Amino acid sequence: MKQIQTFTSTYTADVSGVPSALYELGGMSIMHDASGCNSTYNTHDEPRWYDSKSLVFITGLSEMEAIMGDDQKLVDDIVKVAKKLKPRFIAIAGTPIPMITGCDIEANAKVIELATGIPTFGINTNGMHSYVEGASEALLHFAKAFVKKNVSKVKNSINILGATPIDFSINGQIEYLTSFLENNGVKVISNFALSCDVDKMILAGSASVNLVVSSVGIKLAEYFQKEFNTPYIVGVPYGDRMKKDLLDKTKKGENTSEVFLSDLSKSYKDEKIHIIGESVTSKSLAKYIYYRYGLTPKVISAVELGNTYHGDIVKDLKVRNEVALEKQDMYIEDEDEIRDTIKNAKVVIADPLYKPIVPDNAIFINNPHEGFSGRLYRKQMINLIKELK
C-alpha cells in the first residue's frame, strides 16, 4: 500500500503547525479534535511547552458531537473561554474528524468573531498534510489581520519568515541569525515567529527585503510581495560564503530580484549524495556542501513545498510551483519511493529515523529534525547557522 510508513516516522501534521506558528503571538489556538490529542502536540511537536506559556486548547470532540454535528457547542465553548481570557486573536484548526463530518471551520470562525469582537481565523487543516501547510496559513492569517498597511520602508532591513521550532528546534539558530544580521548593519524588523516580538511583527511591511528560511514562510513572502512590494530571497545562510551572499542581496534592498538558492543546476553532477528533509533548509545545506567541498547533493523534500492551498485565505496568491528545489531535486512523501530513490546512494544526510531505509553500504549522516523525530534527538541538533563555516 502506498503512503504507509512501515520503517520510518511521519512529519508533524498540519493541525500542530497552527499553534506552533502562533505560539508566541498572544492568541488562543484551538484544535478541533477528540480529547487527548492535545498531549501529542505538547509532548512531541512543541519544545517550548514546558518553558513558556501559550493558550493552546482542544475542543474535546465527543463521538455524539461528531455524529450529530453540534457546532453550536464548539462556538459557545470558544466564546465563553475567549471572553474570560481576552486573547489577541483566536485560531481554530481542523482535524480529520471535522473534515469527514463537514464542519465549516471558517463559518464558525466568523460567528465567533461577531460574538467576541476578537479577530478569529478558521484554518482548514485536516491532518492529511504536514506542518508546513498549517503553520504557513496560520502566519498568513496573522499577517493579513495585524500587519500595518501604510508604513514607510526602512533601508537595509529584513524580515525573517518561516522560523518555527519544528524546523529549527530551540537550539538558538534563529537568535544567532538575528544577531548576525544586526551586527552586520542589517536591521531585523521582525521574525515570523520564533523568539519574536509581536509589536515588531505588526511593522513587517516596512522591511526592504524578506528572508524565507523554510517553506513555512513562502506563502507569507508572496503576500508581502503582493501587498507591500517587498522582494524575498530564500535560504538559510549556512557557512561564510552564504552569509556573505545574504548580506550582499539584502543590501540591494527593493532592487533585488535574485532567489538565494538558484545556482546549483548549472554545476550539478550526480555524486549519489542525498539530503532528505524540508526543502529550503535541505537545499541550503546542499548549497553549503557545494561551496565547501565542490559536491552537489540531490535534495528529497519529504514535506510540502509551501505552495498548496486551503480556503479563501490563499486564493489570491500566485505561489510558484517550486521555490527552493531545482530540476535534479524531488518532492517525495512516500517511504517506498524514497527508499527506491536512494538505493544506490553513497551518502545520505537525514533524520536518524530514516536510517532503516538507507542502504547498508551508504554513509549515513545524522541531521535530526524536530518535526520528524520530535524530542528523541533534540540534544544532537546542532546550531548549523553558527557552526558551519
Last residue of a domain, one of 220, 255, 290: 255
pLDDT tens-digit profile of 197-209? 999 999 999 999 9
249 within a domain of the structure (yes/no): yes
3 within a domain of the structure (yes/no): no
Residue 228 falls in which region: left (phi positive, over 0), alpha (psi -120 to 50) or beta: alpha
Specify the residue for cell string 541538533: 381
One domain for residues 307 and 230: no
Q: d(Cα 304, Cα 318) in Å, to the nearest integer?
A: 16
The answer to whether 347 touches 275, Cβ cutoff 8 Å, is no
- Look at residue 269 in the predicted model and tell me its pLDDT: 87
pLDDT tens-digit profile of 7-39? 899 999 999 999 999 999 999 999 998 877 777
CATH number of the domain residue 34 falls in: 3.40.50.1980
Specify the residue for cell string 511547552: 49
Mean of the per-residue pLDDT values for the chain?
Answer: 91
One domain for residues 316 and 369: yes
Last residue of a domain, one of 194, 224, 255: 255
2 within a domain of the structure (yes/no): no
**Section 276-295 average pLDDT:** 94
Cα distances (angstroms) measured from residue 18 to each of 21, 28, 222: 5, 11, 19
Residue 1 has pLDDT above 60, yes or no: no
DSSP 104-127: -HHHHHHHHHHHH-S-EEEE---S
Tell me which of 264 and 93 has the higher pLDDT. 93
Q: d(Cα 294, Cα 269) in Å, to the nearest integer?
A: 10
- Look at residue 261 in the predicted model and tell me its pLDDT: 58
**Helices 14-22 and 131-146, interaxial angle, to 10°?**
40
Q: d(Cα 135, Cα 141) in Å, to the nearest integer?
A: 10
- Look at residue 11 in the predicted model and tell me its pLDDT: 95
Q: Hey, what amino acid is at 71?
A: D
**Helices 240-252 and 279-293, interaxial angle, to 10°?**
120
SS3 category, 179: helix
Q: Domain limits at 201? A: 157-255
One domain for residues 330 and 233: no
β-bridge mates for residue 301, sequence order: 277, 331
Query: What confidence tier does 262 reach under pLDDT thresholds 50, 70, 90?
Result: low
Cα distances (angstroms) measured from residue 75 to each of 84, 98, 105, 124: 14, 14, 10, 16
The answer to whether 97 touches 176, Cβ cutoff 8 Å, is no
Q: d(Cα 223, Cα 300) in Å, to the nearest integer?
A: 26
Tell me how many domains the chain contains: 3
One domain for residues 251 and 280: no
- Look at residue 157 in the predicted model and tell me its pLDDT: 95
**H or E element: which one contains 225?**
helix 218-228
